[in-house]
Structure 1
Amino acid sequence: MKAQDNSVVLFNYTLRDEQGEVLETNQGSDPIAYLHGNDNMMPGVEEAISGRAAGERFSATLPATKTYGERIEDCEKRVSMKHLQGAKTWKAGMTALVNTDQGQRQVTVLKVGKFMATVDINHPLSGRELTFDIEIVEVRAATDEEIAHGHAHGVGGHQHS
């Protein structure tokens, strides 16, 4: 089966920057699972996977507009230190998680005060051309429940309790 709308795709990836440095990978972990064609994956990654079958390995170099978006200048916010997640002590340049109305968001700490921090709310990888080395592990038909819920279930997907 090939990746198409309403199929569940499981894949492994390695993300590289413009110089080929590895930024992140899920190699050695469970594959990522998503419901294809339901806005659950970065547009560029989904486009690169579309029409591919299990066992395929490939690389896709994608512009910022197809991954984390373009950088928006002067996109700074002041937030309470207690809202920064990911470390006990914060310094400028560190990446933190912050809960927003749209879910968790990665931010970059710009300045740390006693009670407040100034953060750049652009994703740390925004504005960059990135290369994804992808291995398709499995492609299967989505269940009716997955289609109704709008996401993949099981290993690498959404877990319901």
Structure 2
Amino acid sequence: MKKVKEGDSVSLHYKGSYEDGTVFDSSETHGALKFTVGKGTVIPGFEEAVLGMKPGETKTITIPPEKGYGPRNEELLIEIDKKELPPDLDPVVGQRVEFSKDKQRLQLTVAEVGDDAVVFDANHPLAGKTLVFELLLLEIEEEGE
């Protein structure tokens, strides 16, 4: 039976949770995940975990921040004066806000709301977290198929 190797395109179901068991993402929501191993389109720990898997095989893996979304970077906390924010923005802690500048889109999370300023967090929401994934490999499409 075929095993996943670098360059293969794979299709799998997954459930991602935090160490406490809280689910943050699942392929049940948006269908099976498809990617090519070695292209860097998924986090390194996820890519490494599928290597050697066979269709129909299940696996539970724990991915530390270094192989996931990286450590939290406190330098990515940005304080913006409320006067500089769009007038229709009513920021709430935890809210995800998208800003566009020079054709670039930036997703930020509201970290703190003060009287005169708002602190936004530009870290990925999963940065600094250890992630647990349950995987079920559905299919392997070998390179060149």
Pair 108,61 (structure 1): closer, same or farther in 2 beyond 3 Å: same
Shift of 1:100: 7.6
- 1:95-114: CA deviation from partner (whole Å, max 9, x where unpaired): 3345588x75543212458x
CA distance in 1, matches of 2:106, 2:125: 10
Q: Contact 1:58 / 1:133 at 8 angstroms: preserved in 2? A: yes
Aligned-residue RMSD, C-alpha: 2.8
| Alpha-carbon shift at residue 61 of structure 1 (Å) | 0.7
The alignment of Structure 1 onto Structure 2 pairs a total of residues equal to 137
Gap regions ≥5 residues in structure 1: 83-87, 145-161
Q: Distance in 2 between matches of 1:14 and 1:97?
A: 26
Give the partner amino acid of 2:78.
Answer: K
Name the amino acid aligned to 1:38. Answer: K
Q: Percent identity?
A: 28
Whole-Å Cα distance in 1 between the matches of residues 65 and 101 of structure 2? 22
Report Cα offsets for 1:42-101 as digits up to 9, x if no partner. Answer: 10011111111211111001101111111112422257656xxxxx75312223345588
- C-alpha distance in 1 between matches for 2:55 and 2:105: 31
Residue 109 of structure 1 is matched in structure 2 by: 110
- Cα 1:72–1:26 change in 2 (3 A) is same
Q: TM-score, normalised by structure 2?
A: 0.78
CA separation in 1, counterparts of 2:54 and 2:101?
A: 36
Offset of residue 22 of structure 1? 1.1
Residue 94 of structure 1: aligned partner: 95
Q: CA contact under 8 A between 1:95 and 1:124: conserved in structure 2?
A: no
Report the residue type matching 1:59 in the other structure.
T
Structure-1 residue corresponding to 2:125 = 124
Partner of 2:32: 31
Runs of 4+ in 1 over 4 A off after TM superposition: 78-82, 97-101, 103-106
Greater Cα shift, 36-45 or 116-125: 116-125
Larger Rg: 2
Q: Which runs of 5+ in 2 are unaligned?
A: none
